[in-house]
Homo-oligomer: A and B are copies of this chain.
């Protein structure tokens, strides 16, 4: 068992319903293709913790009035809304509603199949008046037909039973008791939609709604394929906020009613209601034409293709085997088909963070998608580039050059209401630039850079150039910004930020050399490029000579120590301690200097890495789920393999074990992506330098064999690590050889010729460091 659920390499199974974990399981069983997201709510709708159906990019605006305002504060918030719910299939058994809270639940099993991309449910239930019934449902959100989700729902009679199935579309569902103390957010969530129109078809309906303030028009449609062993009748009805298709039949023992419900969604701010209605109707017709079986088959094919270039095999640690595959599946779901919209920090699995996208995506999710589902990464990057106009405007508002991408947003507009941990975290721009670079290096695709990437690189470089300045000795500084560690805000010369800025500046300069025409179009001069290189060259990286460590920002190692003992029962600290205290002491929320070492391994010597890691391990409380994976990678880098393995657990099990106690609000997609990063970059030692794949594999004692696949410049690479040796292969047919650097040795791999090297051990320079009291790695149970 892992997190209370059975361990299985390819599925997540809940053998019996646990109403106490309803919300967490709604998130864990969420299905999504990146465009449509369905929480794992029960088919019959109730009980639920949070009913959730989401369509990427559909949100509502609400005012953000500040008790004390300030120039440049965003005035409007954005909240992802629960759209028209089409998952609903309400069953009446001899007029008694099927509800797991009543009657007797003989058995109730749910299973998410990671190879099929389907959520199965199997129920035996006895109604309060004693009538037994069997239900089987299978739900999918199609990776192939982007606008489509579908449910196969089968009712089987045990005794003669009158069965009434109500298949519904419901808009403006009552929101759950809102945990937001802000009445404006609550208002945005309550009745977000105005009905625009509704159309009945013979076996379905389409509802069209419009959000009140953001002015988005949404069409949701359903249609049904019905098979029944007995005669049945259909009724169809639609009102402003709901539509219902009712099927009535009388089943004898063993007889079944099989319904396939097709769902389609479409939205637009510009297209008309009739156009949207027709678009959805067309999607439904196409899906019915494809049919349930082919829809399932194509789902499997899509996933086979994905796993073929992404799968991880972990021998000796079945918990991680399951967790890493689950993690990767959810990472894929979050971004597979967003196509022109942002990926939220929680994908489409819940309303945590209001559905906003953060640096989580470019920093952690896209590097993984780049190596496993590159088209999804490209789509997400194209979305980001499409918001350049808003980012330029934001930079102007802030008195800066170039483009200032938002800290949190749905549509590209900054909506962060606390600027010290929002706008001031300018590293988001460099995170985005890095994601473009990783994509270019990993895929070999130069087109994205030509189309949009160059402009992003140039505009982010311009931002950095206007953010930083040279001191009287020529050193280049970035003052008053916030790095990844949100417990130390508005600092000078954050090492991570400065390295990222320099990297961004160099990448832009190099890109301009590669793309002279694009550079000219962007009015980049040679003087500008020279200034970028100058700044990058002169970047100041503070170092504490006395302690022999890098302060994560100027002065950090001189700050007072945090009293970890006293606060050991007050995690996460931000809920129990004022920012004021956190900011001025040596307490670190999440990998910051350690993240700098993860992303810039060549900027530190081995000794520096070991000492820095030792220093920050003792001071990092991991109140952010983004932290464990980077700590794991650097732990592996400095030879702390046990610790790396433990952090891998923490990153991978974040939601399966509900380690932050808030998985019910949605999954921690970046932490899940981080699990794959730990495997590949931590144990695989994968680095991208000068466009060549470097591997420096190690194997922790807890894993007997580790294998991972990834896509590199069109090829599929597999790396297999056993206790004895490392094998690098090219999978499938591939003309060209792939150059690799394994343990520092330049080699070529071809489909016919694998590279095999003996496994090397890595010794730690320092003993294993302790973590703050109360914050050892959460290995889960």
Contacts and interface: CB of A to CB of B under 8 A. Distances in A.
Best-buried of A71, A77, A469 by chain B (most CB within 10 Å) = A71
B559 A182 contact: no
B584 A479 contact: yes
A578 B490 contact: no
Interface string A566-587: 0000000011111111011100
Given A399-B581, A490-B490, A583-B490, A417 B68 contact: yes
A66 interface: yes
Interface string A555-568: 10011100000000
Contact of A66 (B67, B397, B471, B558): B67
Interface in A62-88: 64-72, 77
Interface string A441-481: 00000000000000000000000000001011000010111
A661 interface: no
A64 B418 CA distance: 15
A525 B419 CA distance: 43
Given A67-B64, A71-B574, A575-B71, A580 B477 contact: no
Interface string A12-45: 0000000000000000000000000000000000
Contacts of A416: 68
Given A555-B492, A560-B479, A575-B71, A580 B423 contact: yes
A767 interface: no
A182 B66 CA distance: 7
A578 B70 contact: yes
Nearest to A416: B68
Contacts of A580: 72, 398, 419, 423-424, 480
A469 B397 CA distance: 38
Nearest to A558: B471
Given A398-B578, A558-B471, A580-B419, A181 B479 contact: no
A418 B71 contact: no
Contact of A417 (B67, B554, B559, B575): B67
Contacts of A469: 560
Contacts of A71: 574-579
Contact of A558 (B68, B69, B77, B477): B477
Best-buried of A77, A184, A469 by chain B (most CB within 10 Å) = A469
A72 B578 contact: yes
A480 B64 contact: no
B181 A65 contact: yes
A776 interface: no
A420 interface: yes
Contact of A67 (B418, B480, B558): B418
B581 A398 contact: yes
A527 to B, nearest CB: 20
Interface string A206-247: 000000000000000000000000000000000000000000
A744 interface: no
Interface in A157-191: 181-184
A181 B578 contact: no
Interface string A47-71: 0000000000000000011111111
B583 A480 contact: yes
A671 to B, nearest CB: 22
B70 A579 contact: yes
Interface in A409-433: 416-420, 422-424
A585 B480 CA distance: 9
Interface in A579-613: 579-581, 583-585
A416 B420 CA distance: 17
A578 B479 contact: no
Contacts of A77: 67
Nearest to A415: B67
A580 B70 CA distance: 10
A464 to B, nearest CB: 13
Best-buried of A77, A492, A558, A559 by chain B (most CB within 10 Å) = A558
A406 to B, nearest CB: 14
A477 B584 CA distance: 11
Contacts of A584: 479-481, 490, 492
Contacts of A423: 578, 580
A65 B581 contact: no
A575 B73 CA distance: 11
B479 A559 contact: yes
Contacts of A68: 416-418, 422
Given A397-B578, A479-B559, A417 B181 contact: no
A577 B72 CA distance: 7
A67 B574 contact: no
Contacts of A583: 480, 490
A424 B558 CA distance: 19
A688 B396 CA distance: 50
Contacts of A489: 490
B70 A574 contact: yes
A544 B61 CA distance: 49
A417 B581 CA distance: 17
Nearest to A581: B399
A200 B558 CA distance: 70
Nearest to A584: B480
Contacts of A65: 67, 181-184
B477 A579 contact: no
A212 B480 CA distance: 43
A578 B419 contact: yes
Interface string A669-710: 000000000000000000000000000000000000000000
A555 B581 CA distance: 20
Contact of A420 (B72, B420, B472): B420
A71 to B, nearest CB: 5
Contacts of A424: 580
A182 B67 contact: yes
A72 B578 CA distance: 6
Contacts of A559: 479
A419 B419 CA distance: 12
Interface in A357-404: 397-399
A182 B477 CA distance: 38
Contacts of A490: 420, 489-490, 583-584
Given A72-B578, A480-B583, 6 more contacts: A67-B417, A70-B418, A419-B580, A480-B580, A490-B490, A492-B584
Give 9 closest A-B pairs by Cβ, nearest first: A480-B584, A67-B417, A469-B560, A72-B578, A68-B418, A479-B584, A64-B67, A68-B417, A480-B583
14 contacts: A65-B67, A65-B181, A65-B184, A66-B417, A67-B77, A71-B575, A71-B577, A71-B579, A72-B577, A397-B578, A399-B577, A472-B546, A477-B558, A492-B584
Interface of A: 64-72, 77, 181-184, 397-399, 416-420, 422-424, 469, 471-472, 477, 479-481, 489-490, 492, 546, 554-555, 558-560, 574-581, 583-585
